[in-house]
Structure 1
Amino acid sequence: MSHYISSSTTYSIADSHAPSTPVTPLERPNPFESPSRSSANSWIEGTRQHEQGSAKLKSGVVEVAEVRNLYFRSRRIKKEDLESPKALQSSRNRSVFQKQTWLIPCLGIFVGICITGVLIYLGLQSQHAGGKFCPILDEDFSSGRLSPNIWTIEQQVGGYGNGAFDQTTDDADVVFVDGGLLHIKPGLQDQKVVETDGATIDLGSSCTGTAFFDCFAHTNVTNGTIVPPVRSGRVNTKKGVSIKYGRVEVTAKMPKGDWLWPAIWMLPVDDAYGSWPASGEIDIAETRGNNYSYNAGPGGGNDMVTSALHWGPESKMDSYLQTWNQLSALHSEFGDKFHTFGLEWTDRYIYTYVDSVLLQVLYVPFTQRFWDRGHYPASNANGTSLLDPWSTTGRLSTPFDQRFYLILNVAVGGTNGYFKDSAGSKPWADASPIARKEFWQARDQWFPTWQKNGDMQVKSVKMWEKC
């Protein structure tokens, strides 16, 4: 059904027979064309007509002329006729302080920096709260030699209780001062002495040890016993300088090379509470020459440094793991450059650090007796009753309440477990009766790693004692 009228056409939307010539797009007004300037009333009238037209569309019948009025019509409004948004209006009315909100986070950052500075300052002050320290040694090796009034160059072949593979010697190519630096440079033993049956090393009166095998060694080809296969160095201040409470700072570069064991540490001048470790040991800094890939603990390779206190009623009850800690070199190794290895020691605490007192390695407060700290059994493995060697003093710092002297050395290998079996291609076994020989036979593997930076270089040694 359809109805045709000449002036206007009315049809049902539902009718399937629409006019064959509907209104074309060209005949329709452009919906995006800006209309002429109009008032607000015309805008309201246009909206009303649009709503009426929408109602007719919903009813199903609409005239073509009215369809034209249903298209969207934009209106250009003058800027002065448009009211400012509330947000914009409110921003114009804000105070100067409200507009400068960026000051708040900046002020917070500034306050944070100030607080950090205060905390660092207070930390530095608290670390030196142990009292006044007076300098007693300032060694920069500018004299070109080690003063015999202060330093002792040790000479022994017994391995110092660790089964170390080095002979400590005063040979000028092992322990020497050059360019303002003290060098301790390990090297190979004379091959003839190592491999000749019956060859001996007898240190005689120059020996600084007390036991026979500290001073005498020999090679026995039949049973595989050999003299120490390496010559290295160990120096101490026992003769010239020792402290009871104070500070120590050693600026040094640690050696790099497989199975080297450099250490900066202290021992008591007198064994007031008995033999090691009853009278204590202070390890300021120990590391290994192996590179960062060596991860057998405690500690690692040359990328880690450890500090520890050794103490206990007898040698098999060394409780150092309760007073031990380590520090990483942070993406480098301690043989790459010089570092300052420090100790501060009072009757209330011991702590060690690297380069700065804020870079602490170990901190041990003396808040309880070491006997109580150790939780020792009533007797040892043999059934012998254990006695508290520190019970007579009444001091919480005992046994670390006596005079201690400084030691600098580079040990090599050993059978005490510091280098763990089967770790890092270790060429010997600790329990082997021919451990020294096994190490010597692998020298083509480890000795080349010593060639570039295999010596400990010490720039300065400073010691203070509590005044």
Structure 2
Amino acid sequence: MSIKAPLLLMLASALSACQQVEQIRPVTASIGEGWQLVWQDEFNGSQIDSQKWSHEVNCHGGGNDEKQCYTARAKNSFVEQGLLHLVAHKEQYTGPKFNRDDVNSDAERALTQTQSFTSARLRSKGLGDWQYGRFEIRAKLPAGQGAWSAIWMLPTDWEYGRWASSGEIDIMEAVNLKVPTDDKTAPTGTLESRVHGTLHYGGPAPNNVYSGTAYTFAADQNPADMFHVYALEWQQDEMRWYVDDIHFATFKSEQWYSVSEQADGTLLKNSGFAPFNKRFHMLLNFAIGGNWPANVNEKGVDESGFSKQMLVDYVRVFECSVNPETGKGCATYQDSAKQIIPKRL
């Protein structure tokens, strides 16, 4: 059966309109009451906004044996048609081993390293730093063995000491999407569709610990095939994770802790709600390989199918107007949420 040209044009126009509408959501918090928008990037311009993001430039592999160099080149990150594109290419590249602001000497600044992929990692450090709030990001994630996409937060001031004494907040991480899953509860042949919410805390490595859980999408909702909204609500005594407004995990402050290393090498436990009572900034990145993705699912890195990209539609940050000092009073709880139990205390 053939379709006449005018009808084809009408269908194309309708599809385009639907796609445009599908990408636009109201600038309001999706759940809870009292959330007030305080920071956002809708990526509607022609370039990455340097008043909101800076690039990390390094080849050291993220401390996880990742296989990419992060660059500030336009081929690895750009804004187009209302989306932020973080693009990984398979290419030999030599660059600085460390970020310039992470080193203390000229000798360290002169070090270089070569990797077999390039990609991008953006951060809001010094441009967007927050203590408590709701963080909402709409994104479409890359697929393939070794693909590791992340939306996360690090301490801006590291007041409790080096990682992970000062904490790390992972809003969303996904590895090896659309590869046969190693989830033992899934039917044979199921493709990987999990995203993970995690906190890292405790003492300085190797005395660090982490706690988290996964959210599993239905087969027809794979996060590598379509956009989804990933959110974290952070208040003084609790963290809550959401996917498409589904509250899937909660972690309470009595289960996290922080231990700082003293000058004499001894460890001292910090009081209060440490380490998640200081300001953090956001990071968006697309890594290749590393200790986690390379050791699960089909293992290693599948080097076919590049270039690959992570797409971000928007980043929105909300403050709880009920009590900005603690972030408490704006949450909406759902019975479906899992209470995260620490691996150890």
CA distance in 2 between counterparts of 1:214 and 1:138 reads: 33
The structure-2 alpha-carbon separation of the partners of 1:347 and 1:169, relative to structure 1 and needing over 3 Å to count, comes to same
2:336 paired with 1:448 = no
Deviation of the 1:419 alpha carbon: 2.6
2:146 paired with 1:253 = no
Coordinate RMSD, CA, aligned:
3.1
Correspondence 1:70-219 to 2 at 5 A: 128=32, 132-190=34-92, 201-202=95-96, 207-210=100-103, 216-218=111-113
The structure-2 alpha-carbon separation of the partners of 1:255 and 1:213, relative to structure 1 and needing over 3 Å to count, comes to farther
Q: Which has the higher strand share?
A: 2
Q: How many residues align?
A: 284
CA distance in 1 between counterparts of 2:204 and 2:191 reads: 29
2:219 paired with 1:331 = yes
Matched with 1:419 is: 294
Structure 2: state its 5+ residue gaps: 1-28, 325-345
Matched with 1:409 is: 285
Can you list the C-alpha shifts for 1:427-461, whole angstroms capped at 9, x where unaligned? 6xxxxxxxxxxxxxxxxxx232345xx21000011
Larger RCO of the pair (alpha carbons < 8 Å, separation 6+): 2
Aligned AA for 1:363?
T
Deviation of the 1:139 alpha carbon: 1.2
The structure number with the bigger radius of gyration is: 1
What is the aligned counterpart of 2:238 among 339, 344, 349?
A: 349
Can you list the C-alpha shifts for 1:158-186, whole angstroms capped at 9, x where unaligned? 11211211000011111001111000010
Matched with 1:87 is: none
- TM-score computed with the length of structure 1 as normaliser: 0.55
The structure-2 alpha-carbon separation of the partners of 1:301 and 1:343, relative to structure 1 and needing over 3 Å to count, comes to farther
Aligned partner of residue 456 in structure 1, secondary structure = strand
- After superposing on structure 2, the runs of 4+ consecutive aligned residues of structure 1 that deviate more than 4 Å are 211-215, 299-302
What is the aligned counterpart of 2:275 among 399, 407, 431?
A: 399
CA distance in 2 between counterparts of 1:410 and 1:171 reads: 14
Q: Which has the higher helix share?
A: 1
Matched with 2:159 is: 272
2:282 paired with 1:282 = no
Aligned partner of residue 279 in structure 1, secondary structure = coil
Deviation of the 1:214 alpha carbon: 7.3
CA distance in 2 between counterparts of 1:217 and 1:180 reads: 34
Deviation of the 1:217 alpha carbon: 2.4
Matched with 2:124 is: 237
8 Å CA contact retained: 1:182, 1:458: yes
Aligned partner of residue 128 in structure 1, secondary structure = coil
Aligned AA for 1:307?
G
- TM-score computed with the length of structure 2 as normaliser: 0.74
Matched with 1:459 is: 313
Deviation of the 1:316 alpha carbon: 1.3
Matched with 1:340 is: 229
8 Å CA contact retained: 1:259, 1:289: yes
2:196 paired with 1:306 = yes
Aligned AA for 2:286?
V
Q: Percent identity?
A: 27
8 Å CA contact retained: 1:352, 1:363: yes
CA distance in 1 between counterparts of 2:108 and 2:249 reads: 35
